[in-house]
Structure 1
Amino acid sequence: MHCLSKPRSLVRAAAALALLLAPPVAVAQDGKSIFMVLWRGETAVEQGFRGYFSEKGLPVTYEVVSVDRDTARLPEIVARIKAAQPDLVYTWGTPVTLGIAGADPDLAQGEAYPPQVTDLPIVFSMVSQPVLSGVVDDTRLSHRNVTGVSHVVPMETQVQAMQAYMPVDRIATIYTDAEPNSAQAVAELKAVGERYGLRIDTYTVPLDADGQPDPASIPELVAEAAAAGPQFLYLGPDSFLGEYAAEVADAANAAGLATFASTERSLTSSDALYGLVAPYYDVGRFAAQKAEAVLFDGVDPGAIPVETLPSFSYRVRLDVAQRLGILPAMSLMDYAEIMEGTP
Structure 2
Amino acid sequence: MKKLLSLLVLLLLVGCQSSKPAEQAAESGKESGKKVKVGIVQFMDHVSLDAAREGFVEQLKESGIDAEVIEQSANGDMSLTNTIAQSLKADGVDLIYAIATPAAQAAKNTVTDIPIVFSSVTDPVGAELVKTFEKPDSNVTGVSDYVSSEAQIDSFLKIYPDVKTFGVIYNTSEQNSLVQIEELKNNLAKRGIKLETVGVSAVTDIPQAVASIAPKIDALFALTDNLVANAAPIVSDTLIKSKLPSLSAEEGQVKNGLLMSEGVNYKEQGKQAGRMAVKILNGEQVANIPVELNEVNTKLVNVKTAEALGVDLNAEGFKDVEKIQ
* TM-score bracket, shorter-length normalisation: 0.7 to 0.9
Choose which of 248, 263, 266 in structure 2 pairs with 1:261: 248
Instruction: Name the counterpart of 1:3.
Output: none
Structure 1 partner of 2:204: 214
User: C-alpha displacement at 1:258, in angstroms?
Assistant: 0.4
Residue 292 of structure 1 is aligned with which of 275, 278, 282? 278
Name 2:232's counterpart in structure 1: 245
Matches within 5 A, 1:1-343: 28-41=32-45, 43-101=50-108, 115-137=109-131, 139-167=133-161, 168-205=163-200, 212-215=202-205, 217-218=206-207, 220-228=208-216, 230-270=217-257, 272-296=258-282, 298-327=283-312, 330-339=315-324, 341=325
The TM-score with structure 1 as length reference comes to: 0.76
In 2: Cα distance, 1:301 partner to 1:157 partner? 32
CA-CA distance at 1:140 after TM superposition:
4.5
Q: SS state of the match for residue 153, structure 1?
A: coil
Matched residue SS, 2:267: helix
Q: How many residues align?
A: 291
State the Cα deviation string for residues 305-342 of structure 1 (Å, max 9, x = none): 22233231111224433432343684334321123x3x
Q: Helix, strand or coil: the match of 1:252?
A: helix
Partners of 1:318 and 1:337 lie apart in 2 by 10
- Kindly provide the CA deviation profile for residues 184-224 of structure 1, in whole angstroms up to 9, marking residues without a partner as x: 3223322333344321110122x5xxxx3424x51x43233
Structure 1: which 5+ residue stretches go unaligned? 1-26, 102-114
Q: How many angstroms apart in 2 are the aligned matches of 1:91 and 1:199?
A: 35
Describe the SS at the equivalent of 1:68. Answer: coil
Cα distance, 1:49 vs. partner? 1.2
SS at match of 2:308: helix
Q: Is the 8 A contact 2:53 2:99 kept in 1?
A: no
Q: Deviations over 1:124-162 (max 9, x none)?
A: 111133244333355443122111123353333333333
- CA separation of 1:310/1:164 partners in 2, compared to 1, >3 Å: closer, same or farther? farther
State the secondary structure of the residue aligned to 1:261: strand
Q: CA deviation at 1:87?
A: 1.5
Deviation per CA, 1:22-42: give whole Å up to 9, x if none: xxxxx9442222121111258
What is the CA distance between 1:292 and its match in structure 2? 0.5
> Which secondary structure state, in structure 2, belongs to the residue aligned with residue 302 of structure 1?
helix
Report the CA distance shift for 1:94/1:319 in structure 2 as closer, same or farther (over 3 A).
same
Say if 1:305 and 1:196 are closer, same or farther in 2 by CA, change over 3 A: farther
- Cα displacement string for residues 47-97 of structure 1 (whole angstroms, at most 9, x for unaligned residues): 211111222322112222222211112443343333333221111111111
In 2: Cα distance, 1:268 partner to 1:140 partner: 33
Structure 2: distance between partners of 1:322 and 1:82: 49
2:28 maps to none
Identify the structure with the greater strand proportion: 2
Q: How has the CA–CA distance of structure 1 residues 79 and 325 changed in structure 2, closer, same or farther, with 3 Å as cutoff?
A: closer
C-alpha RMSD of the superposition: 2.5
Runs of 4+ in 1 over 4 A off after TM superposition: none
What residue is the counterpart of 1:24 in the other structure? none
Secondary structure in 1 matching 2:124: coil
d(CA) in 2 for partners of 1:164, 1:308: 26
Distance in 1 (CA, whole Å) between partners of 2:307 and 2:83 is 50
The answer to whether the 8 A contact 1:95-1:180 is kept is no
